[in-house]
């Protein structure tokens, strides 16, 4: 898991394949309209919404993509745990590249405007959450190919 300020995102190019191409595509957008956008080497989605209580829902994990989440406006809290500390509750679905897991939700990070995090295949993460007060957000969820054997 990487957590940092968005202005530092390109420092991680060796760990985040195609992040530069993805960020260039984001810069080309005139407005951040909700939807899915393709670029050479991955894709991203613009999402807007409200957080849900931390105790609702499950962790997620991905095998084929690194999940880079960039908060553009607002904030969210995100719980993190390594997969070895979580229990699968919905088996991995290759079409969605997602597994749903459960476990303690006590490693919580507040991700505010101007920050990003990158969840790798070994990272269980529970985004779009709050522990006390509901939060609004606009974010970019970028999917980059995870070739962990070449990292």
Q: In percent, how much of the chain has pLDDT > 90?
A: 95
Position 55 scores a pLDDT of 96
- Report residue 103 CA to chain centroid gap: 18
Per-residue pLDDT tens digits for 99-131? 999 999 999 999 999 999 999 999 999 999 999
Model confidence at 148, pLDDT cuts 50, 70, 90, reads low
Here the CATH number for the domain that contains residue 6 is: 2.60.120.370
Domain that holds residue 39: 2-143
Instruction: Write out the DSSP string of 104-146.
Output: ----EEEEETTEEEEE-TTEEEEEEEESSS--EEEEEEEEEE-
From the number of C-beta atoms within 10 Å of its C-beta (0-12, 13-18, 19+), residue 147 rates as exposed
Q: Is residue 148 part of a domain?
A: no
Helix locations, the chain, DSSP H: 19-28
In a domain, 151, yes or no: no
Q: pLDDT digits over 54-95, tens only?
A: 999 999 999 999 999 999 999 999 999 999 999 999 999 999
């Amino acid at each position: 898991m990487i957590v940092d300020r968005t202005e530092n995102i390109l420092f991680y190019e060796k760990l985040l394949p195609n992040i530069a191409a993805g960020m260039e595509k984001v810069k080309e957008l005139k407005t951040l309209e909700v939807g899915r956008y393709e670029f050479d080497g991955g894709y991203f989605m613009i999402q807007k919404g409200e957080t849900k209580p931390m105790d609702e829902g499950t962790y997620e994990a991905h095998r084929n993509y690194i999940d880079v989440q960039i908060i553009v406006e607002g904030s969210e809290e995100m719980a993190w745990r390594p997969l070895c500390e979580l229990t699968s509750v919905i088996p991995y679905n290759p079409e969605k590249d997602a597994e749903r897991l459960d476990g303690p939700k006590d490693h919580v990070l507040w991700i505010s405007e101007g920050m990003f995090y990158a969840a790798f295949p070994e990272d269980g993460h529970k985004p779009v959450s709050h522990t006390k007060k509901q939060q609004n957000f606009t974010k970019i969820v970028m999917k980059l190919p995870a070739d962990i054997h070449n990292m």
